[in-house]
Amino acid sequence: MTIEVQLDLKSGVPFYRQIIDRVKSSIATGELGPGDRLPTVRQLAVDLKINPNTVSRAYTELELTGLVETQMGSGTYVGQVEVEQDDMERRRILDQICQEFLSRASSHGFTLDDILDNLQQRKSR
Amino acid sequence: MTIEVQLDLKSGVPFYRQIIDRVKSSIATGELGPGDRLPTVRQLAVDLKINPNTVSRAYTELELTGLVETQMGSGTYVGQVEVEQDDMERRRILDQICQEFLSRASSHGFTLDDILDNLQQRKSR
Amino acid sequence: MTIEVQLDLKSGVPFYRQIIDRVKSSIATGELGPGDRLPTVRQLAVDLKINPNTVSRAYTELELTGLVETQMGSGTYVGQVEVEQDDMERRRILDQICQEFLSRASSHGFTLDDILDNLQQRKSR
Amino acid sequence: MTIEVQLDLKSGVPFYRQIIDRVKSSIATGELGPGDRLPTVRQLAVDLKINPNTVSRAYTELELTGLVETQMGSGTYVGQVEVEQDDMERRRILDQICQEFLSRASSHGFTLDDILDNLQQRKSR
DNA sequence: GTGGTCTAGACCACA
DNA sequence: GTGGTCTAGACCACG
């Protein structure tokens, strides 16, 4: 299983950032799990029609944050997710980022239902 | 009636683009209508704690697309032309912010299910 | 106060890594403190006679790890150091990295005294 | 008599360079003398869990500098020429590993004083 | 084949 | 002026 990445050329979001976001959200949805291999740097560069360095930069940042692991000469793989912290703290953080997210979405005129629809679709992929 | 803009400092989306998106969305949802006045460049720059040039750039781009009109010495106003934000555009934006949201949540070890639970609870409140 | 960086061309250690190490160790010795400004990307590139991208890469990684903060259009600054964890855990970690360090040094024929001399010199700088 | 090589996976120093440095140091300190046999390429590769090509490369470079001699089908031996590792070279290596050590410690929030305390204690033991 | 490092140089965002 | 993004292309380390 691997992922398909699509760049939004009009969004103004840096390509490498879009790749990072795509990988991270794939991990969140379970689309990618520990041990899964990411597309090779060169292959993804070809697919997206961008420079390999840009893909490499995205992968490097993902590795620095511990989400993926790189094996030289072999490829890049999703790392073991280590989740810790006490439950209360986790709930608080989740509440906070959800709140900020809703705030941002509503400033664009989206409702909670719009959001739930969008997220649900990602689940069934 | 005027709008309140909030910048997401961490999203990686350029400030001027966030401002543009915010104004566009406001017009699309009717929050802003023809003739409504936008905040002055200076005022918005102060509020957002960013460089006036950045606001200016956003306004300039909005003017180029005909969405707003600047009257020298008076201010910037929403144009008379009713511009419907097409569905594709709205969907693109929703997709983008949902993806960035998932990405951020994933960095904290949350899954899509964690998020859906949290958001569902807000719905029933 | 700023720092002086010297590259070891023969070591085989990547330039960007050497810069990172230099900044980090400067923070450890107190040579650099919170709020201190790092050399600009371009200036350091000129000083070291390397490409600005290489310096930029080092600074980017330092920012990702939270050690420095970048203010667009202004420069790069040493961040606030946040140290937490309980004392026992910290002692354990320090012991471990000291042990590994001594092991590596001794494999090169260096004694504890050699090391202490070298480190003491850094203190008086 | 042969030597034991330990790789520092996180230092960023290329494996082949670490091997070279290790051998050089061993010769300089007398740990290895003229005629002593180095581990075979294959054996060392297995021990270090790295690619034989990497070991081979290190040995090749050592041979080019005349420090070791390879006898086809027999093995690799420390050369007859007594090569003193000059002081500058030793100092460079010590500086490098001390800097990397400080860098790593700094990432964990430790200061030079923390380290000196820890090392001093080991001295009095 | 894989990823990693570095360069030269362009253009953008921001102060 | 500052840093950020991207490209094109070279060369290295490793499997």
- Answer whether residue D94 is part of any domain: yes
Determine, for residues C65 and A61 on separate chains, whether the beta-carbon distance falls below 8 Å. Answer: no
Residue D71: inside a domain? yes
Residue A63, nucleotide of least CA–C1' distance: E3
Instruction: Find, among D51, D106, D11, the residue nearest to C100 by Cα.
Output: D11
* Terminal-to-terminal C-alpha distance of chain C: 13
Nearest CA in chain B to A65: B107
Contact C25 D106 (CB under 8 A): yes
pLDDT at C39 over 90: yes
CB contact under 8 A, C123 and D112: yes
* CA-based R_g, chain B, Å: 17
Task: Please say if the pLDDT value at position A9 is more than 60.
Answer: yes
- A21 and A72 co-located in one domain: yes
| Number of separate domains in chain D | 2
Question: Does any strand E atom come closer than 7 Å to the Cβ of C72?
Answer: yes
Q: Work out if B18's Cβ lies within 7 angstroms of strand E.
A: no
Q: What pLDDT is recorded for position C37? A: 94
Number of residues that make up chain B: 125
Nearest nucleotide, C1' to the C-alpha of C51? E7
Q: In the structure encoding, which two tokens stand for residue A52, read together? A: 């390999």
End-to-end CA distance of chain D: 30
Contact D94 C103 (CB under 8 A): no
Instruction: Count other Cβ atoms within 10 Å, centred on residue B52.
Output: 14
Which pLDDT does position A117 carry in this prediction?
93
Co-location of B93 and B115 in the same domain: yes
* Tens-digit pLDDT profile for residues D87-97: 887 888 888 88
Question: For A23-52, what is each residue's pLDDT tens digit?
Answer: 998 998 888 999 999 999 999 999 999 999
What's the pLDDT score for residue D81?
66
Give Cα separations from D75 to B104, D35, D38 (angstroms).
Answer: 55, 11, 7
Domain coverage including residue D74? 15-78
Average pLDDT, chain D: 82
Task: Let me know if residue C4 belongs to a domain.
Answer: no
C-beta separation of A70 from D10 below 8 A: no
Report how far residue C52's alpha carbon sits from residue C41's, in angstroms, rounded to the nearest whole number: 6
CB contact under 8 A, B119 and A114: no
Q: Which residues in chain D are closer than 8 Å to C95, comparing Cβ atoms? A: 118
- d(Cα B120, Cα C13) in Å, to the nearest integer? 51
Q: Is residue C26 assigned to a domain?
A: yes
Nearest by CB to B106, which of A25, A93, A107?
Answer: A25
- Rounded to whole angstroms, the Cα distance separating C6 from C48 reads 7
Q: Which of A16, A7, A6, A9 is nearest to A58 (CA)?
A: A16
Instruction: Tell me, yes or no, whether D93 lies in a domain.
Output: yes
The pLDDT tens digits of the residues spanning B99-110 come to 888 888 888 888
Question: Looking at the structure, do residues C50 and C99 belong to the same domain, yes or no?
Answer: no
**Domain match, C66 and C92 both:** no
What is the C-alpha to C-alpha distance for residues C23 and C44, in angstroms, rounded to an integer?
Answer: 12
- Whole-number Å distance between alpha carbons of C19 and C37: 15
Domain annotation covers residue B3? no
B74 in the same domain as B33: yes
Nucleotide nearest to D57 (CA to C1'): F13
Is A25:A16 a contact under the CB 8 Å cutoff?
A: no
Q: Quick one: pLDDT at residue B66?
A: 81
CA of B115, C1' of F10: distance in angstroms: 46
Q: Which residues of D touch C103 (CB under 8 A)?
A: 6
Helix A15-29 × helix B87-107 angle, to 10°? 70
Q: Which residue blocks in chain D are alpha helix, DSSP H? A: 15-29, 41-48, 52-64, 87-107, 112-124
Q: In this structure, are C72 and C94 located in the same domain?
A: no
